[in-house]
Amino acid sequence: MTIESILIEIDAEISRLKQVRSLLSTTSTVERVKPIRKRRKMSAAARKRIAAAQKARWAKQKATK
């Protein structure tokens, strides 16, 4: 292989890679958009139950020490 033929092959590969990159960049921008998740709201009673349960776990852990 001559240097010129190697350079021609490299240029051809570069052009193929550029085409693939352009295809991937146009399709991936659509896929990158993440849907916005709605946050679930907890009632005040549920928050109180969770807080009471956590405090009970802390008290149990302190009692074992």
| Global pTM value | 0.41
Which pLDDT score is estimated for 14? 95
pLDDT in tens, 6-26: 999 999 999 999 999 888 887
Whole-Å CA distances, 36 to 30, 32, 39: 14, 12, 9
- What are φ and ψ of residue 34, in 5° steps? -90, 140
